[in-house]
């Protein structure tokens, strides 16, 4: 079984959705996946923030069109994509401890149920070195 490592830096709706789609593909291929949530990405995983993500990183002037298209196409939310992937295969989601602290999250109970652990950046570097596929979103 192959292993994918993802560094999830962004907390924008477009990039969280892209990460969710990628996770779904990896889950469909029965890959083991480790997601390391960094800096701005950690804000999305703070408990209660799941539906508060309303910014886009790319083509910000097209945000409303992007959101409307997601709704029209009945695309799952980024959170639902992550949930589905975790149900399908071995997906672990880790919050970088510094990133969590930046957004007020220091303990596991500060984060939503997707999060498996709070880790240091060294664990991400090691996982990236050992993975068959490494992505940075």
Please choose, from the candidates 128, 109, 35, the residue with its C-alpha nearest in 3D space to the C-alpha of residue 79: 35
Residue 71: give its domain's CATH number: 3.40.1260.10
For 73-125, the pLDDT digits (tens) are: 999 999 999 999 999 999 999 999 999 999 999 999 999 999 999 999 999 99
**Rounded mean pLDDT, 26-37:** 95
Residue 1 C-alpha from the chain's centroid: 21
- Return the number of other C-beta atoms located less than 10 Å from residue 68's C-beta: 11
pLDDT of residue 50: 87
What are the Cα distances from residue 53, in Å, to 45, 49, 79, 132?
10, 7, 11, 31
Where in the sequence is the domain holding 19, given as residue range(s)?
3-136
Position 26 confidence tier, pLDDT thresholds 50, 70, 90: very high
Structure tokens at 107: 């303990």
Please choose, from the candidates 112, 67, 84, 80, the residue with its C-alpha nearest in 3D space to the C-alpha of residue 25: 84
Residue 61 in this model has a pLDDT that exceeds 90: no
pTM for this model (two decimals): 0.93
Residue 58 in this model has a pLDDT that exceeds 90: no
The count of domains in the chain is: 1
């Amino acid at each position: 079984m192959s292993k994918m490592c993802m560094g999830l830096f962004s907390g924008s709706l477009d990039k969280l959705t892209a990460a969710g789609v990628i996770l779904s593909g990896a889950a469909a291929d029965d890959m083991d996946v480790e997601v390391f949530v960094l800096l701005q990405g950690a804000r999305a995983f703070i408990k209660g923030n799941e539906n508060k993500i309303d910014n886009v990183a790319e083509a910000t002037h097209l945000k409303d069109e992007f959101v409307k298209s997601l709704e029209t196409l009945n695309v799952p939310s980024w959170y639902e994509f992550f949930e589905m992937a975790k149900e399908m295969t071995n997906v672990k989601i880790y919050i970088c401890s510094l990133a969590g602290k930046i957004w007020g999250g220091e303990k596991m109970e500060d984060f939503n149920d997707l999060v498996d652990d709070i880790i240091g950046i060294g664990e991400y570097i090691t996982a990236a070195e050992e993975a068959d596929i490494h992505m940075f979103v």
